[in-house]
Amino acid sequence: MSDDQPDRPLGGTGYQEVQASDEFQELRTRFRRFVFPLTGVFLAWYFLYVALSAYAPDFMSTEVIGRVNIGLIIGLLQFVSTFTITMAYARWADREFDPTADRLRAHIEDGETE
């Protein structure tokens, strides 16, 4: 961010006030509580798949439905989980996160610039 931007809505201290406000702190906490554990879950799930493929090939090669084996099924489930997490996050962000974020944003931009 270059410092010459003329239309900055708030000075530093104004942002610090917002940052210290309960509403912002709660927004931040909710955001982190949602995305951090979810990130941990999908990374663990992905590396479980990679590790099983590398170190348990016999298990992954067990055929379940016709020629479709467990490895392929877990691989396809990675697609399912990715799509599910994507939609769950988008839904959560639209419904739970955006209203508060928009309110704070409107408060900051309207309250201070004019």
Partner 1 sequence: MPAAATASGDIGSPALNITIFIVFVVITLAIVLRASRNNRTAADYYAGGRAFTGRQNGIAIAGDYLSAASFLGIAGAIATVGYDGFMYSIGFLVAWLVALLLVAELLRNTGRFTMADVLSFRLRQGPVRTAAAISTLAVSFFYLLAQMAGAGGLVNLLLGVDGSAGQNLTIAVVGILMIVYVLVGGMKGTTWVQIIKAVLLIIGAALMTVWVLGKAGLNFSALLGDAAAASPAGTALLEPGLRYGLTDTTKLDFISLGLALVLGTAGLPHVLMRFYTVPNAKEARRSVVWAIWLIGIFYLFTLVLGFGAAWLVGPEKIMAAPGKANSAAPLLAFELGGTLLLGVIAAVAFATILAVVAGLTITASASFAHDIYANVIKKGAVRADDEVRVARITAVVIGAVAIVGGIFAKDQNVAFLVALAFAVAASANLPTILYSLFWKRFNTRGALWSIYGGLTSAIVLIIFSPVVSGKIDAKTGASLSMITDTGIDFHWFPLDNPGIVSIPIGFLLGYLGTITSKEVGSAEKYAEMEVRSLTGAGAEKAVEH
Q: How far is the CB of 22 from partner 1 (least distance, A)?
A: 14
What token pair was written down for 48? 């479980």
Q: At what angle do helices 70-92 and 22-55 cross, to 10 degrees?
A: 170
Q: At what angle do helices 22-55 and 12-20 cross, to 10 degrees?
A: 80
Backbone phi, psi, residue 4, to 5°: -90, 10
Q: How far is the CB of 99 from partner 1 (least distance, A)?
A: 11
Q: How far is the CB of 77 from partner 1 (least distance, A)?
A: 10
Binding site for partner 1 (CB under 8 A): 1-4, 8-10, 12-13, 15-16, 18-19, 24, 27-28, 31-32, 35, 38-39, 42-43, 46-47, 49-51, 53-55, 57, 60-61, 65-69, 71-72, 75, 78-79, 82-83, 85-87, 89-90, 93-94, 98, 101-102, 104-105, 108-109
Q: DSSP H helical segments within 10-69, as ranges?
A: 12-20, 22-55, 57-60
